[in-house]
Amino acid sequence: MDKLKDELAVDAKEIIEEPDLTEERKPPEPPHPPPMRGVIGLIIDDFGYRNDDVSNGFLDLPARLTFAVIPGHEYSQSFSNKAVSTGYEVIVHMPMENTGRTIGEEEFVLMTYFQEEELVRRVKEALDHIPVANGMNNHQGSRATESYRVMKTFAGVLKDRNKFFIDSRTTINTLAEETMREFDVPTNRRNIFLDNVLDEEKIYSQLIQLTDVAERNGIAIGIGHVKAETLAVLKKQIPELQKRGFKFEFVSKLVN
């Protein structure tokens, strides 16, 4: 009997316990998202001139970005359609008279000496040229946006077409935003220009300033341009900022 007990004890030691496959197994908890620190609306200006690795590179950025397309150029319509089909937002980058010499876009640019009929015609043609656009911002325009008469006429067309407007604020004397509000056109303003200086360190510094505004005010709107330096900074920094709790949103969601 003692011998049998010893043999059973040896056999028991050799038994390998199988895991209980019927036991409920909980999946690992997903990582908690970072707390929301602010919302950034980012407009990239001046699409339409080019169709190259830089312009197409912006279509690979992993964020809800708004692309401002100048009407009347070779790639204005094709880029707009491609951007919208890829999941980005498109607005018309409306040419307006500046205090210097306006170059290009002569068939669309809004000059302060135009009569109301001509202003209306040009705004409508710009919107018709890029039908996928759901809003506008100004290209240059340091003189036109200071004219209440021009901005009033401009606002009337946007109101009729159910479009919004972002004031690029190319002059401190702009009347654009306040005139849009007067005529119930959804609007907002640019807070920071990213790339007035085409240097990656400077662009990064401006981007950080934009996040500071977003964290302080809840939202911030920045404007950059179709430049290789700007693309390089955004390609690297957008994922990092998202990890830190900043959300990128279409500017159409940031107007009121």
DSSP-assigned letter for residue 253: G
Cα 175–Cα 122–Cα 167 angle in degrees, nearest 5: 25
For residue 17, the model assigns a pLDDT of 53
| 11 within domain boundaries | no
Is residue 119 one of the residues assigned to a domain? yes
CA-based max dimension of the chain: 117
Q: Helices H, strands E: what count in the chain?
A: 8, 9
Query: Does residue 248 fall inside a structural domain?
Result: yes
The pLDDT of residue 33 is 75
Task: State residue 105's pLDDT score.
Answer: 79
Q: With cut-offs at 50, 70 and 90, classify the pLDDT of residue 161.
A: very high
Cross-strand bridge partners of residue 47: 69
The more confident residue out of 88 and 8 is 88
pLDDT in tens, 32-83: 778 999 999 999 999 999 999 999 999 999 999 999 999 999 999 999 999 9
Instruction: Find the mean pLDDT for residues 5-29.
Output: 52
Q: Is residue 95 part of a domain?
A: yes
What's the average model confidence in pLDDT over 196-203? Answer: 98
1, part of any domain? no
Q: Cβ atoms within 10 A of the Cβ of 51, count?
A: 15
Distance from C-alpha of 112 to C-alpha of 16, rounded to nearest angstrom = 89
Residue 209 has pLDDT above 90, yes or no: yes
In terms of Cα–Cα distance, which of 122, 105, 104 is closest to 113? 122
Average pLDDT over residues 130-158: 98
User: For residue 30, what are the CA distances in angstroms to 24, 27, 33, 98, 153?
Assistant: 18, 9, 9, 52, 53
Domain contains 30: no
CA distance linking residue 206 with residue 225, whole number of Å: 13
Per-residue pLDDT of 21-30, as tens digits, reads: 455 555 566 6
Identify the CATH number of the domain in which residue 190 sits.
3.20.20.370
Phi-psi region of 218 (alpha: psi -120 to 50; beta: other; left: phi over 0): left
Q: Does any domain span residue 137? A: yes
Can you give the residue range of the structural domain that contains 163?
Answer: 38-253
User: What pLDDT, on a 0 to 100 scale, did the predictor assign at position 102?
Assistant: 54
Residue 227 is encoded by which pair of tokens? 């430049």
168-190 pLDDT per residue, tens: 999 999 999 999 999 999 999 99
Rounded Cα distance, 246 and 248, in Å: 7
- pLDDT, tens digit (0-9, with 9 covering 90-100), for 80-131: 999 999 999 999 999 999 987 655 678 999 999 999 999 999 999 999 999 9
The structural domain count of the chain equals 1
pLDDT value at residue 15:
47
Beta bridge partners of 66: 43, 89
Question: CA angle, corner 211, sides to 206 and 217, nearest 5?
Answer: 125
Domain assignment of residue 201, yes or no: yes
Q: Give pLDDT, residue 20.
A: 53
For residue 32, the model assigns a pLDDT of: 73
pLDDT band at 4 (very low <50, low <70, confident <90, very high): very low
Provide the pLDDT for residue 31. Answer: 67
